[in-house]
């Protein structure tokens, strides 16, 4: 429940930059890093800002590499029936 509140607040703060997202959508976040929740949301927001550019415009980018917080991170997405899933991994190793 805390994730829903955090994501809702973060999206509302960045609503001018986020396109193609409906409030009925759910975001599943699998953080496999040592980043804080807020830092992970910052990375995910960069992918969301790019829009749904994979799977014929239905899905956020399949795989994105972002250099942030002094490391390289990979963000992978999956499109489920009623949600988008984001997996964040540390790729610096």
Domain that holds residue 67: 2-90
CA distance 4 to 8: 6
For the chain, what is the domain count? Answer: 1
DSSP string, 32-76: ESS--HHHHHHHHHHHHHH-S-BTTTTBS-SEEEEEETTEEEEEE
Q: Which of 31, 33, 25, 30 is nearest to 8 (CA)?
A: 25
pLDDT digits (tens, 9 = 90+) for 32-81: 999 999 999 999 999 999 999 999 999 999 999 999 989 999 999 999 98
Structure pTM? 0.72
Ramachandran bin of 34, using left for φ above 0, alpha for ψ from -120 to 50, beta for the remaining angles: alpha
């Amino acid at each position: 429940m805390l994730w829903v509140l955090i994501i809702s607040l973060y999206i509302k703060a960045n609503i001018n930059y986020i396109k193609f997202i409906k409030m009925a959508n759910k975001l599943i976040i699998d953080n496999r890093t040592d980043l804080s929740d807020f830092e992970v949301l910052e990375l995910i927001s960069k992918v969301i800002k790019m829009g749904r550019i994979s799977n014929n415009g239905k899905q956020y980018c399949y795989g994105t590499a972002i250099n942030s917080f002094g490391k390289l991170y990979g963000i992978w997405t999956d499109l489920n029936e009623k949600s988008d899933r984001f997996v964040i991994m540390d790729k610096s190793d």
